[in-house]
Structure 1
Amino acid sequence: MGNNISDIIERYLKQIIQKSQAGVIELQRSDLAELFQCVPSQINYVISTRFSIEQGYVVESKRGGGGYIRIRQLRFNDHQPLAQIVQSIGVSLSQREAEGMIERLEREEIVSRREANLLRAAVHRDTLRVELPSRDELRARLLAQMLTALFAAKADEG
């Protein structure tokens, strides 16, 4: 039964995202939980498992009394390389692999030199002072999130 309610919530959210002009919706977690007569953690579960970067969504949330969840659908034709790039990052990335990827993004002018320098600094082993394999997993998540933020910002600009 729990799986069924997750499917219903997912379908509902995807429908309202489709209807929104910009592909962005903002909602209250508590309102959704009330609408579907479920606990707020069920809403969190659906959003975290079915609205990931790999699935083409950026989710921002603000907790607390006036807390909201914003879900933005990344339009595939606007972000052709994004889904493939993020997918190729995977769950773990060595420093050498990350530098190779950033170099390629810069060479293909997907990111500027300045953006590439920021990405390199953020994912460098001197910055991520954590033991392996956690460091490579953290590097992969950071790079995926930063690239998603860059692509979302570029989409907003034009």
Structure 2
Amino acid sequence: MSNRNTSDLIEDYLKKILRANDSIEIRRAEMADLFSCVPSQINYVINTRFTLQQGYQVESKRGGGGYIRIAKLRFTSSRSYLSALSHTLGEKISENGARDLLQKLYEEKLLTKREGNLFLATLSSNVLGHYQQEDVLRAQLLKAFIERLGYESEE
């Protein structure tokens, strides 16, 4: 018996389509019908599993003919990817957001599993939770890390 939830199934479905296409356009209500769920669950999946940090750009148009377009981000070089990532990183980032970002850097082969795990431990709430603005400090550390990775990336 599988213990996968509906959100996992929706994510897998969309990512399977995105493996074959650079972008997809969906209608929230149609997806909700397909997975027998409420439309807000489709929003939840898109907002949490298809973020810029994970390598996706999401565009939505509301209304009768509305749609949600999800596109995989493509970059010409590691340096341009890291630069774009640094610019999209806000003033704050949660521990989960940092984990997603480091996972994407690992998938893009910009850091090793060991490096990612070491940095993730440094960014954890166990370490940064003692500071009043841990999400701000985490974002500053990540920006410095990404900037340094940009110097190391080969062109």
TM-score (norm 2): 0.52
Separation in structure 1 between the aligned mates of residue 16 and residue 77 of structure 2, nearest angstrom: 21
AA aligned opposite 1:43? I
**In structure 2, what is the equivalent of residue 65 of structure 1?**
64
Specify the alignment match of 1:9 in structure 2.
10
| Other-structure match for 2:76 | 78
CA distance 1:87–1:4, shift in 2 (3 Å): same
Higher relative contact order, chain-length normalized (CA < 8 Å, sep 6+): 2
Alpha-carbon RMSD across the aligned residues, in angstroms, is: 2.8
Distance 1:74 1:66 in 2: 25
Q: Does the 8 Å CA contact 1:56/1:83 hold for their aligned counterparts?
A: no
| Superposition pairs of residues 69-148 of structure 1, within 5 angstroms | 69-75=68-74, 77-78=75-76, 80-89=78-87, 90-92=89-91
Q: Secondary structure at the match of 2:51?
A: coil
Identity among equivalent positions (%) equals: 53
Distance 2:71 2:53 in 1: 13
1:54 aligns with 2:53: yes
Number of aligned residues: 93
Cα 1:74–1:87 change in 2 (3 A) is: closer
Corresponding residue number in structure 2 for 1:30: 29
In structure 2, the CA distance between the partners of 1:48 and 1:83, relative to structure 1 (3 Å rule), is farther
In structure 2, the partner of 1:108 is none
**What TM-score comes out, normalization by structure 1 length?**
0.51
Using the TM superposition, give the Cα deviation of residue 66 of structure 1 relative to its aligned residue in structure 2, in angstroms.
Answer: 1.0
Aligned counterpart, 1:44: 43
After superposition, what is the alpha-carbon deviation per residue over 1:86-144, rounded to whole angstroms, capped at 9, x for unaligned?
A: 44343218xxxxxxxxxxxxxxxxxxxxxxxxxxxxxxxxxxxxxxxxxxx9xx9xxxx
- Note the C-alpha offset of 1:39: 0.5
